[in-house]
Amino acid sequence: MSRFELRRKDLNLDPLTIETEGLTIGRLLGNDLSLNHPMVSRTHAGIRQIERDFWIFNLSEANGTLLNGHLVDQAPLAEGDLLQIGPFFLQVRYGQDSLSLDIEMTVNPLPTSSLTAAPTADTTDQSTVVLDPAQLMKMQRAGKDGGGTRQLSPTSMLTGLLAPADAQALKIFWEKRKREAGKLSVPSPLRPRQAQRAGKAQFNWLPTRDLEQSSLASLFIWGGIVVGLLALMALFFRTSAYSPGDLSLAHARREIGVSPAVATHPNAGSCTTCHTTTGRIESNCAACHTTPAFDSSVSAVHQQAGIGCLQCHGEHQGGDFRPALLANAACTRCHRDGGGVVSARSGAELRSPHGGSFGYPIERGLWVWKGISAKEWQRRELPGDPLQFTSKEQFHLVHLAGRQQGRSRCTDCHVAGLVGEALTRDTARSCAACHGVAPDDSAKEEAEVPRCISCHSQHGEDKQLRASLRRP
């Protein structure tokens, strides 16, 4: 470890003491002596003690190091020698076991690019020189020998003689120092070895791939265009793409299937019979479903409640769907206990009919006559008081007297006959023909299974219990 004393007149610094095996000099701040000027190479030169002498080594290929005005490769330093590195002058003095360097700088007021790169031996054609030129001339003589000899190499650079093994070791030493001085952080082997651009051009701006901008907006626009085109085509050629489900057979058919007709013309699968751009869909329903045999108007009490066609009749549920046959769920959405729906007519809350709080509960799949309240008895225009009659009498009176007078026949329920045991055969089942309801009812089932609409029809003048749409 050798000691170097540096006195820098170019900077506002106190004298420095640096201890190192080899003093690196260069522009980068990692050097022991950092001369930060564009004319100085990144690692420009090195000074190292060999036996009792300090030797100067030029480490810069692009720019040279001058020793007393001569370009030097490697040479021992003598007392009073003058080194020039770029615009910096270093005066060498030997101290007690140390080397002392006084550093001064010639400053050109113009920027570096106005100067030539390599220093020439003639130092006086640059701008003002700090040191006294007379003194400079005095120093530019062959230096006294301290331990090695200086001579001019074939390339007319000053060089000193060193044993080859030493020279090799030194080369490795300076390579290592160069690498260390050169970096603020260790480059990893995963990094590409990029060639440095020459000179000032190495600071020219370069883009990186971060600046590639993919046009996301265009993806949106193209996606919109493609889908829009497809949608437009589907509108004309395959409107079923818009359909939420297949049309029922009834509406897909090309001829009227029901007699007496309930529609004026067959739909034949058209979308636009119901879905028009103007007008409500329900008026379209009514326009077609108004025939001599069928009046599609809605009962007054339901109209008051804001119910039209679509609340009860669905479509687009597939081919087997029967739009006219309503599942009981359509009715029991409102007509049930706890539904919170208030009757438009009486103002009382709607309750579950027939199986709930009045009328006919279902037990074990069969109707059971539970009895009827006096109020309901009178509403049905039945004579007297229900408690006067037995259950069976109540049952038969409700179905045959009062408002039901003349509407039902005995054989509607006693289908097997009226004689002997045939009287009661199949009656339970035949009740179910009107009143029975399967637990998992759906409108796709056979028409024989009765549902609310088997008796309570909406459409037409007769709003009471009426058997319509019952297939023979």
Partner 1 sequence: MPKEITRHRDLLDAISGIGALRALTAERDGHYEYELDLEVVVYGRNYHGKQVGPYVRLLEYAPGEEIVRAGDWGGNEFYFVVAGRAEVLIAAGDDGAAGVAGVAGTTDRPVVRELGAGMQFGEMSVLAGNRRAATVRAPAGAPVTVLEVRRPALRLLRKLPGFSESLDSAYRHYGLSATVNDVGVSVPLSPELQARLEKISRFRVLARGHVLFRAGDPVKSLYLLRSGWVRLTSVSGVPGEGGAEEAPFFVGRGSCLGTEGIMQDSFWDRQGSLPGRTELLEIPIARLRQLPDLREALRSAFGGEQRQPEPLPVARAQEALIETGLADGNNLLVMDMDLCVRCGNCSLACHQMHGHSRLQRRGISIERPRSLTQVARQSLLAPSVCLHCQDPECLTGCPTGAISRQQDGQVDIDPQSCIGCADCATQCPYNAISMTPRRSSDGPLDPGLFNLFSTTLPPAVEQTEDLVAVKCNLCSGTPLNPPGVAKRAYSCEENCPTGALRRVEPRHYFEELQRLEGRVARDGNRVIVHGSTPPAGDKREVRLTHLIGLALTLLTTALIGQGIWRSGLDASPGSGWLDWRWITGLIGLGGIAGVMAYPVRRRIYTKRRGPLRYWLLAHSYLGVIGGIALLLHGGVRSGGLLTTALMITFDLVILTGLLGILLYVVVPRLLTRIEEQPLLLEDLLARRDELSAQIAADLAGSSPELPANGVRLILGPLRWLSDLPGILRRRESLEQSIVREEHLHLAMVSAGDGASRQAFQRLIRSAVTLRRVDALIALHRALRLWLAPHVIFTSIMLALMVIHILQVIYFETR
Window 86-145: residues binding partner 1 (CB under 8 A)? 107-114, 127-128, 130
The residues in 384-403 that bind partner 1, with binding defined as CB under 8 A, are: none
Q: Please say whether the beta carbons of 330 and 321 come within 8 A.
A: no
Of 304 and 373, nearer to partner 1 (C-beta) is 304
The residues in 221-250 that bind partner 1, with binding defined as CB under 8 A, are: 221-224, 226-228, 231, 240-245
Using alpha carbons, select from 39, 32, 119 the residue that is nearest to residue 82: 119
Token readout for 254 is 């090309």
Q: Which amino acid is at 336?
A: R
User: What's the min distance (Å) between Cβ of 331 and partner 1?
Assistant: 15
User: What's the min distance (Å) between Cβ of 464 and partner 1?
Assistant: 29
Determine the Cα angle at 47 with ends 68 and 143, to 5°.
Answer: 30
DSSP 54-87: EEEEE--SSS-EEETTEEEEEEE--TT-EEEETT
- What sign does the CA torsion over 296, 302, 308, 309 have? negative
Q: Please say whether the beta carbons of 83 and 89 come within 8 A.
A: yes
User: What's the min distance (Å) between Cβ of 327 and partner 1?
Assistant: 14
Of 191 and 392, nearer to partner 1 (C-beta) is 191
Write the interaction track for partner 1 spanning residues 16-35; mark x where CB under 8 A is met and - where it is not: xxxxxx-----xxx--xxx-
* Contact window for partner 1 (CB under 8 A) among 46-54, 142-150, 277-285, 421-429: 277-285
The residues in 34-73 that bind partner 1, with binding defined as CB under 8 A, are: 34, 36-38
Of 182 and 371, nearer to partner 1 (C-beta) is 182
Among residues 124, 196, 218, 346, the one that binds partner 1 under rule CB under 8 A: 218
Three-class secondary structure of residue 94 per DSSP: strand
How far, in Å, CA of 79 to CA of 94, rounded? Answer: 6
Q: Please say whether the beta carbons of 81 and 63 come within 8 A.
A: no
Of 54 and 395, nearer to partner 1 (C-beta) is 54
Token readout for 379 is 């509403």
What is the DSSP secondary structure assignment for residue 237, as one 8-state letter? H
The residues in 315-334 that bind partner 1, with binding defined as CB under 8 A, are: 316
The residues in 188-217 that bind partner 1, with binding defined as CB under 8 A, are: 188-194, 199-201, 203-217
Task: Give 250's contacts (C-beta < 8 A, 6+ positions apart).
Answer: 257, 267, 322, 323, 324
Of 9 and 470, nearer to partner 1 (C-beta) is 9
User: What's the min distance (Å) between Cβ of 428 and partner 1?
Assistant: 33
User: What's the min distance (Å) between Cβ of 129 and partner 1?
Assistant: 10
* Contact window for partner 1 (CB under 8 A) among 3-11, 156-164, 371-379, 399-407: 3-11
Q: Please say whether the beta carbons of 37 and 27 come within 8 A.
A: yes
Of 248 and 457, nearer to partner 1 (C-beta) is 248
Of 231 and 374, nearer to partner 1 (C-beta) is 231
How far, in Å, CA of 358 to CA of 246, rounded? Answer: 39
User: What's the min distance (Å) between Cβ of 110 and partner 1?
Assistant: 6
How far, in Å, CA of 434 to CA of 45, rounded? Answer: 113
Token readout for 204 is 């020219």
The residues in 247-276 that bind partner 1, with binding defined as CB under 8 A, are: 275-276
Count of residues engaged in binding partner 1, rule: CB under 8 A: 86
User: What's the min distance (Å) between Cβ of 167 and partner 1?
Assistant: 22
The residues in 154-193 that bind partner 1, with binding defined as CB under 8 A, are: 180, 184-185, 187-193
Question: Interface with partner 1 includes 347 (CB under 8 A)?
Answer: no
Q: Please say whether the beta carbons of 70 and 155 come within 8 A.
A: no
How far, in Å, CA of 165 to CA of 171, rounded? Answer: 10
Say which residue the tokens 């045959």 belong to. 400
Token readout for 408 is 């039902």
Residue 66: in which H helix or E strand, if any?
strand 65-67
